[in-house]
């Protein structure tokens, strides 16, 4: 599932200029002071990948029920704007061949193993049955990489941990050290900061639901390869989605793009 061509480092200065000036190609300008979410579109089901990288978002069942289909499922938070804007950044800031639009995958999708990296959001509401857990375990042990994001506080951690323990009941969940290659495989990320949701503009607080401390946690395989990247008490998806909003601080979007691109490079080279 891994590929390896990803040349093209871009300076942090250029990166900041792109974000501040809003030069994002096909993106439509988002009016200042307008904070409503984009109406979610119907999920674009994955076909066979046509490019080196495609943004693949996981469709999962909500804990306690599916949650009303594509409009009610927590998996669809920030979809599709966050996904599209992240892909714009990937295209501008690297030479990774990426698809024109994001796709969605359920755990039982026959093409799951063709996508080397998966993104799951709001996993503090995610449920896995035994069959789904077994399929995710096989995916990860065969070289796949799962990035989870946008969940906060003790309750949501407990829900996520219950689900992921079905996948790996005996593997530890541990803090990912800042020296880990995942933080240095493209951009050098030398500090861990809390990346907040758009609520920061009004509240001035980077935390939600009591989750005041940011955690980058992970699950490793027997050879020390990171299989699951856990962004806890953070919201990378909002930082991508609102990168075009002048009121949302550039430093948070910059870090979210650096991390996201590093995750892609790591998944393709480890």
Q: Are 82 and 240 in contact (CB under 8 A)?
A: yes
pLDDT, residue 8, reads 42
Banded model confidence at residue 101, pLDDT cuts 50, 70, 90: confident
Give me the percent of the chain exceeding a pLDDT of 90: 72
> Rounded distance, CA 71 to CA 79, Å?
10
**Average pLDDT value for residue range 220-232:** 98
Whole-angstrom CA distances from 31 to 20, 187, 246 are: 14, 30, 9
pLDDT, residue 99, reads 75
Which structure tokens are listed for 259? Answer: 């991390």
- Phi, psi of 119, deg, nearest 5: -120, 130
Q: What is the pLDDT of residues 233-261, one digit of tens each?
A: 999 999 999 999 999 999 999 999 999 99
> Rounded distance, CA 116 to CA 144, Å?
5
Q: What is the pLDDT of residues 28-39, one digit of tens each?
A: 333 333 344 444
Give me the residue spans of the domains in the chain: 56-269
Going by the DSSP 8-state scheme, the letter that residue 151 receives in this structure is B
- Report whether pLDDT(66) > 70: no
**Average pLDDT value for residue range 70-86:** 86
pLDDT, residue 209, reads 94
**Average pLDDT value for residue range 171-188:** 98
> Rounded distance, CA 81 to CA 184, Å?
27
pLDDT, residue 140, reads 98
pLDDT, residue 95, reads 87
pLDDT, residue 249, reads 97
Q: Respond yes or no on whether the N-terminal peptide bond of residue 80 is cis (omega within 30° of 0).
A: yes
pLDDT, residue 102, reads 86
> Rounded distance, CA 54 to CA 218, Å?
22
pLDDT, residue 69, reads 45
pLDDT, residue 64, reads 74
Query: Angle CA(235)–CA(238)–CA(241) in degrees, nearest 5?
Result: 150
Which range has highest mean pLDDT (28-32, 100-104, 119-123)? 119-123
Rounded to two decimals, the pTM is: 0.84
pLDDT, residue 83, reads 94
Half-sphere exposure of 110 (CA within 13 A, CB side): 2
Mean pLDDT of the chain: 84
* Paired residues of 119 in beta bridges: 57, 147
pLDDT, residue 43, reads 62
- Report whether pLDDT(196) > 50: yes
Q: Are 258 and 238 in contact (CB under 8 A)?
A: no
Closest to 201 in 3D by CA, of 36, 6, 1, 14:
36
The CATH label, of 3.20.20.140, 3.40.50.12140, 3.40.50.261, 3.30.43.10, for the domain at 56-269 is: 3.40.50.12140
């Amino acid at each position: 599932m891994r590929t390896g061509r990803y040349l093209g480092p871009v300076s942090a200065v250029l990166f900041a200029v792109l974000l501040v000036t809003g030069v994002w190609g096909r993106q439509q300008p988002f009016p200042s002071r307008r904070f409503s979410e984009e109406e979610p579109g119907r999920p674009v089901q994955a076909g066979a990948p046509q490019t080196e990288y495609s943004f693949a978002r996981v469709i999962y069942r909500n804990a306690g029920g599916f949650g009303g289909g594509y409009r009610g499922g927590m998996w669809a938070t920030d979809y599709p704007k966050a996904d599209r804007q992240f892909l714009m950044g990937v295209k501008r800031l690297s030479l990774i061949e990426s698809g024109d639009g994001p796709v969605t995958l359920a755990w039982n999708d026959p093409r799951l193993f063709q996508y080397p990296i998966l993104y799951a959001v709001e996993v503090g509401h995610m449920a896995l049955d035994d069959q789904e857990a077994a399929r995710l375990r096989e995916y990860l042990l065969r070289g796949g990489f799962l990035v989870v994001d946008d969940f906060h506080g003790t309750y949501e951690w407990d829900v996520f941990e219950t689900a992921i323990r079905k996948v790996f009941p005996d593997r530890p969940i541990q803090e990912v050290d800042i020296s880990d290659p995942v933080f240095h495989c493209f951009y050098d990320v030398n500090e861990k900061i809390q990346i907040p949701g758009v609520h920061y503009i009004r509240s001035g607080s980077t935390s939600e639901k009591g989750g005041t401390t940011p955690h980058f946690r992970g699950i490793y395989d027997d050879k020390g390869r990171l299989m699951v990247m856990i962004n806890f008490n953070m919201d990378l998806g909002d930082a991508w989605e609102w990168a075009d909003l002048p009121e949302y601080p550039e430093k948070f979007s910059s870090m979210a793009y650096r991390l996201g691109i590093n995750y892609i490079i790591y998944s393709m080279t480890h």
